[in-house]
Amino acid sequence: MMQILSLLFLLGVLTMESLSEEVQRLVDRRYNGLQFGATNQDYVLFKTRMDPLEESYTLCGWLKKRQAGHYKYWFAYSTSSSREEIRPADDGYFLTLSTPADMSSKVTVELGVWAHWCYTWSFSTLTAKVNYNGQLLGSVTTPSGRKVVVEGYVVLGNEFNSHGGDLNYPFGGDLFKANLFDEELDASQVKAMADAGLCSDIEEGYGRSRFLKWEDLLLEEKSGNVTEIDVGCYPDVEEESNSTEECECEEETFSRWDLLKNDKYFNRTVTAEMVEQLKESWDVLGDFEGATVTDRFISHFKFYHETDTCN
């Protein structure tokens, strides 16, 4: 008992100071979405080269349309010679290589519901396709000889009325897992990505082909009212590590996450009594006194605990 107590004490001392930092580190940012205000001041803008996309690309993202009506642009890539290299609105309207691909009459986008959009193109096919929730809505032919111009500006949450500026068509919705790939994904790949769902990590399987990555877009400077939001996706530690064979984690540990989901604990603040009740089977909880038990908490705690035990 003394041993356990002193261990607990030591753990407490070691972790209290760095705790919030520790928990913060574990809040994996790539699981955040971006929520855009609905004014022309609310956007994320940066300059970039696009060399790998010159002859093919796929732009995909999860969108929650919040503003009724057309011309709510969530992404735009503009170059000095064309402002319409890649420019999707949130309703099926799309422009690429100065060519309109208006699929907005083929779909009714519900407000406030996540939808998966993918736009593909390649120089070899001269075909740009618009996909909604894994289904092809339609395609257009792009001008022969025309490739993607490789240097320009990207804006998230609006579009350019002049190169690099003059933003007049705010998106005003939520965006998650927007990624730009340097290849033309085929129908089955697009469908697999949509079917895998909002919280999947399927995009990461594309490696360096995923040229502009969601986790990097989150690091770009935000202008106006653009906030990172919890979209309800969290790291799935059990899936990722499968660690019972490789480390000392006891299998029974995992049943305790379910224990925390019990009414007795869920949504409650971690108290000394709760720690006392759970301590015998799960002493590390003491470090989290004062926290509230939520799904997110359990998810972080799980990760924390696993990291703690396995390393």
Ligand X SMILES: *[C@@H]1O[C@H](CO)[C@@H](O)[C@H](O)[C@H]1NC(C)=O
Instruction: Point out which residues bind ligand X (CB under 6 A).
Output: 35, 37-38, 172, 225, 239, 242, 266-267
Task: Work out how close the CB of 294 gets to ligand X at its nearest, in angstroms, rounded to a whole number.
Answer: 7
Joined together, the tokens standing for residue 22 give 């520790």
Task: Work out how close the CB of 87 gets to ligand X at its nearest, in angstroms, rounded to a whole number.
Answer: 21
Using the minimum distance from each CB to ligand X, give the nearer residue, 101 or 109: 109
Using the minimum distance from each CB to ligand X, give the nearer residue, 36 or 181: 36
Task: Work out how close the CB of 242 gets to ligand X at its nearest, in angstroms, rounded to a whole number.
Answer: 4
Using the minimum distance from each CB to ligand X, give the nearer residue, 91 or 174: 174
Task: Work out how close the CB of 244 gets to ligand X at its nearest, in angstroms, rounded to a whole number.
Answer: 9
Beta strands in the chain (DSSP E): 32-36, 43-49, 56-64, 75-79, 86-88, 93-96, 99-102, 114-122, 127-132, 135-141, 151-156, 160-162, 165-167, 174-181, 210-212, 222-223, 226-230
Residues 167, 169, 172, 175, CA torsion sign: negative
Under DSSP, the state recorded for 4 is: H
Cα dist. 62→35, 118, 182 in Å? Answer: 12, 9, 18
Task: Work out how close the CB of 264 gets to ligand X at its nearest, in angstroms, rounded to a whole number.
Answer: 11
Using the minimum distance from each CB to ligand X, give the nearer residue, 151 or 295: 295
Using the minimum distance from each CB to ligand X, give the nearer residue, 275 or 298: 298
> Of the candidates 144, 149, 155, 128, which has an alpha carbon nearest to the alpha carbon of residue 81?
149
